[in-house]
Amino acid sequence: MADFLGLMKQAAELKSKMEAMQAELDRIEVEGTAGGGLLTLKLSGKGEVKAAHVEESLLKADQREIVEDLIVAAHADARRKLEAVLQDKMQALTGGLPLPPGLKLF
């Protein structure tokens, strides 16, 4: 019974930590770049695009396909960085609890 009570206490602590993590996600920003910095995107901790910057040299009619490709590449770069940040935060949050792969708590 003591093990069950301890497990329930850990679950309650994890829940409160997860709520704090949700609030922190709004403050986290990562930046993805492509084309050697010609295009940058900023994502929130929840994966929402917050800002974009395109160098003026790309703003020509014949550069359209390049810009489109760079947007996709910059978004992928930002998502990779965001996943790494979130994974680190989740490990710190769970204190090394072995969670199943692919489990998304937020």
pTM (whole model) above 0.75:
no
36 is in which domain, residue-wise?
A: 28-94
pLDDT, one tens digit per residue, over 6-47 is 777 777 777 777 777 777 877 889 999 999 999 999 999 888
In a domain, 80, yes or no: yes
> Which residue spans within the chain are E strands per DSSP?
29-34, 39-44, 49-54
Structural domain count, the chain: 1
User: What CATH number corresponds to the domain at position 87?
Assistant: 3.30.1310.10
pLDDT one-digit tens code per residue, 62-95: 988 999 999 999 999 999 999 999 888 878 777 7
Sign, CA dihedral 46-51-57-60, equals: positive
Structure confidence at residue 99 (pLDDT):
58
In this structure, is residue 77 part of a structural domain? yes
Are 41 and 75 contacting, i.e. CB atoms less than 8 angstroms apart? yes
In a domain, 103, yes or no: no
Establish if 17 belongs to a structural domain.
no
